[in-house]
Structure 1
């Protein structure tokens, strides 16, 4: 048995609303015989007359009125379904899973999320705090859509990595310390130190900086949350090496000094995602928003 056709139902509603077959044909851009055929097929399918013929104005029968009422609902739902799919395809609505380190999360990501809320209010960005390795693994497993990771990542098939930002690494020291204008590995290694967790790329990069001077210092404490590390520095517990992610760190965290390193050190951050042809519209719009905050 043939199912009801949305085109036939749309024709029936148009005849009811406009009063004639010819007016319905003109509004739907159909030939009048096609309009008549739609009604005839509906009547044959339901076994009942649906339109009173012969009157100056076409009117639905009792059965036709019941069907028109239901048809309006079906057509509205169909239009809503098409609009929902189009909004999803165009990236106007959806959910994006984003992985980010705590450092980026505190200063840079709020700006990105604010821009997304302003331009794409119906896209939900779900943020997870992840190290670079974990973000790459979850992306490969399909559990993440976009990651903000340290640039020094081994290449993976099916994952695109592009430069996002380069932030200078600085020495964060208690404000009461007397420090040189530029801090060397030798000077810093002689002080109590606070490092990132040994599993992080930031830790490895810091230790390579010390190793370039033939040093392998030990940390007084290891953490994986940059803001907590800065709080310990401000309390006089030790010094640390972190990216400068805020142009006025010393005023944000009173009790510490921010001093350049010698030799200089830079933290490079990349955006990782699947190829653009494999991601949805919401993910593409997040990538476009992230690109607005990219450094040359």
Structure 2
């Protein structure tokens, strides 16, 4: 026996507590020879006697007493481990690993975590800030459980990627700027711009929207954090094209929003591995689906009126 066996350790602890092989056998529902064999195997593994038998009373040796004390902690830890794992199997607690871009993290994910905290307070969601490409790669190799990704995406074997939200991209600009009823590529291309970083899906959508009208504007600055972009817009540094979720709190009163003409949409999807889904992961997915336009996550957001939307 190369490793210490928990069953053998439990036998030793019960004998030490009851002071009798026979009583331990009854308590553990084992045959007396099995109890004796457990102790013999432990003593062989340790290389020293663990129990003293005197006048019908069994007591641990000094070495046995040390082993009993440590064994109690090991057995308690093992029992707690089994309880924790069972709670996770039942969906009562556990860890869920989620990957998302900064666009989803700003407002959507905090809403989901607030709801989850009320419904399942013992589920811990660990969040990684990743591109959609990296999120899908980590889902595929098993280091993530859920991903919030930009759509469309090329199908990945073993992953389910479903539509979740379709939010309008709006023009965010300093409230003091003179502005038309809607923002066209011609008008925005003539303004100082603050855009998302190169390589992001939103930047690609924005570039394609401008290119369809023959414009290829160079931004004053590119950032990957939408809230930082909004701060620069509020300071009068330029205009930005950003998605606007219906549940987002009112923006800084120094910022006005215009619908785009033609309209542009930011689509997000939820990705997870195919097959059986752990209950803790399912609880998180259920909360996320509840933040979609409908329970299937496929209903489009309503068209916005072609009027200025001022958040002041």
TM-score range, shorter chain: 0.7 to 0.9
Judged with a 3 Å threshold, the aligned counterparts in structure 2 of structure 1 residues 255 and 75 are, in CA distance, closer, same or farther, namely same
Aligned partner of 2:227 in structure 1 is 227
Q: State which drifts further: 258-267 or 142-151.
A: 142-151
Aligned partner of 1:175 in structure 2 is 175
Q: Deviations over 1:251-279 (max 9, x none)?
A: 432211112233332211123344455x8
Partner Cα separation in structure 2 for residue 54 and residue 206 of structure 1 = 88
Alignment of 1:207-246 (within 5 A): 207-212=207-212, 214-224=213-223, 225-245=225-245
Where 1:207 maps in the other structure, the secondary structure is helix
Structure 2: 5+ residue runs without aligned partners? 295-312
Alignment of 1:99-114 (within 5 A): 99-114=99-114
Aligned partner of 1:184 in structure 2 is 184
Aligned partner of 2:264 in structure 1 is 265
Aligned length: 287
1:242 to partner: Cα distance: 0.8
Judged with a 3 Å threshold, the aligned counterparts in structure 2 of structure 1 residues 269 and 143 are, in CA distance, closer, same or farther, namely same
Report if the CA contact (8 A) 1:104-1:245 is conserved. no
Judged with a 3 Å threshold, the aligned counterparts in structure 2 of structure 1 residues 255 and 18 are, in CA distance, closer, same or farther, namely same
Judged with a 3 Å threshold, the aligned counterparts in structure 2 of structure 1 residues 61 and 229 are, in CA distance, closer, same or farther, namely closer
Pairing partner for 2:70 from 51, 69, 73: 73
1:200 partnered with 2:200: yes
Name the Cα RMSD after superposition.
3.9
Partner Cα separation in structure 2 for residue 170 and residue 189 of structure 1 = 14
Report if the CA contact (8 A) 1:163-1:268 is conserved. yes
Where 1:242 maps in the other structure, the secondary structure is strand
Where 1:252 maps in the other structure, the secondary structure is coil
Structure 1: 5+ residue runs without aligned partners? none
Q: Deviations over 1:1-43 (max 9, x none)?
A: 7876543442333233234445433321224454455456667
1:138 to partner: Cα distance: 5.1
Where 1:230 maps in the other structure, the secondary structure is helix
Judged with a 3 Å threshold, the aligned counterparts in structure 2 of structure 1 residues 49 and 68 are, in CA distance, closer, same or farther, namely closer
Partner Cα separation in structure 1 for residue 102 and residue 48 of structure 2 = 67
Where 1:169 maps in the other structure, the secondary structure is strand
Aligned partner of 2:84 in structure 1 is 87
Query: What is the TM-score normalised by the length of structure 1?
Result: 0.74
